């Protein structure tokens, strides 16, 4: 447990030291909320779907989490190239604990990013229906963050090149985001698109956010939590396996 805590604390120190990273990671969510929220809001309302800001914000929070979580894996490649990872791996501690500490640190950063986006959204018109469910919302953010941080760890464990990592992650993350129902409802779309979305773990994360924040759901909260939990355990197992295979 001490190892996990130390590595978690190290990740958090890195995060708070990099103010440009903190600010830069908020630019894209803000752009999406303002441009799409106010640009497509009237169209969404005319279609009889209600307040688009309320619909959009949970999706943008999901976007903020997945980008921050997956890209946290690049720190593993950075540490590989500069020798810091070797110093960590030769320590007489379990590699699983090292991986878990790093993953928890990256997930905590992502939850903080999502929480900041949530607070900012309140100033542009987002109004949650269930304020008393905010603690559950935070736990759901943590679950989604753990899932995608584990994915980032798995990919980074297999690569040694930062450019390659960025290409693969961008190729993966953008389809996951756009097919998750973050910016449009999954109800009423073509069967092909809805079938693809059913295999997108981010879709269940965003759906769970909407379930607790605005009482809107496509799959149901129970299904969301079950799918997210199983998928998170699966990728944590894969991430830990590949992390233990890193050659130093």
**Cβ 184 vs Cβ 65: under 8 Å:** no
**Cβ 74 vs Cβ 166: under 8 Å:** yes
208: CB partners within 8 A, 6+ apart = 140, 144, 217, 221, 224, 225, 228
Angle (CA) 69-2-153 rounded to 5° is: 25
User: Number of C-alpha atoms within 13 angstroms, CB side, residue 7?
Assistant: 26
Confidence of residue 142 (pLDDT cuts 50, 70, 90): very high
Residue 99 has pLDDT above 90, yes or no: no
Tell me: the pLDDT tens digits for 156-200? 888 877 788 888 888 888 899 988 988 888 887 788 888 888 899
Lowest average pLDDT, out of 47-51, 163-167, 175-179, 235-239, goes to 47-51
Q: Which structure tokens are listed for 220?
A: 């149901």
pLDDT (0 to 100) of residue 201:
93
pLDDT mean over 67-76: 84
217: CB partners within 8 A, 6+ apart = 207, 208, 210, 211, 224
234: CB partners within 8 A, 6+ apart = none
Q: Which structure tokens are listed for 153?
A: 């760890």
Tell me: the pLDDT tens digits for 121-141? 999 889 899 889 999 999 999
pLDDT (0 to 100) of residue 20:
55
Angle (CA) 73-150-216 rounded to 5° is: 115
pTM, 2 dp: 0.88
Pick from 239, 189, 209, 204: which is nearest to 138 by CA?
209
Residue 16 has pLDDT above 60, yes or no: no
Angle (CA) 31-134-99 rounded to 5° is: 75
Tell me what the pLDDT averaged over the chain comes to: 83
Confidence of residue 119 (pLDDT cuts 50, 70, 90): very high
Name the DSSP letter for residue 217: -
pLDDT (0 to 100) of residue 57:
92
Tell me: the pLDDT tens digits for 54-64? 899 999 999 99
């Amino acid at each position: 447990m001490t190892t996990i805590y130390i590595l978690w604390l190290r990740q958090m120190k890195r995060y708070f030291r990099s103010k440009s990273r903190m600010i830069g990671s908020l630019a894209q969510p803000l752009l999406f909320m303002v441009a799409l929220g106010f640009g497509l809001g009237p169209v969404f309302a005319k279609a009889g779907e209600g307040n688009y800001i309320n619909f959009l914000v949970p999706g943008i929070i999901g976007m903020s989490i997945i980008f921050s979580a997956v890209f946290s894996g690049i720190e593993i490649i950075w540490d590989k190239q500069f020798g810091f990872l070797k110093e960590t791996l030769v320590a007489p501690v379990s590699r699983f604990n090292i991986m878990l500490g790093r993953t928890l640190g990256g997930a905590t950063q992502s939850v903080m990013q999502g929480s900041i986006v949530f607070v900012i959204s309140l100033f542009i018109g987002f109004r949650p229906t269930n304020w008393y469910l905010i603690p559950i919302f935070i736990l759901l953010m943590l679950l989604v963050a753990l899932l995608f941080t584990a994915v980032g760890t798995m990919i980074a464990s297999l690569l040694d090149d930062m450019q390659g990592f960025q290409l693969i992650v961008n190729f993966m993350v953008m389809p996951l985001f756009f097919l998750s129902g973050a910016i449009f409802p999954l109800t009423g779309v073509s069967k092909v698109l809805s079938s693809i979305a059913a295999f997108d773990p981010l879709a269940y994360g965003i759906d769970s956010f909407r379930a607790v924040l605005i009482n809107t759901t496509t799959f149901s909260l129970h299904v969301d939590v079950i799918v997210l939990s199983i998928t998170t355990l699966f990728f944590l197992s894969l991430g830990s396996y590949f992390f233990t295979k890193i050659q130093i």
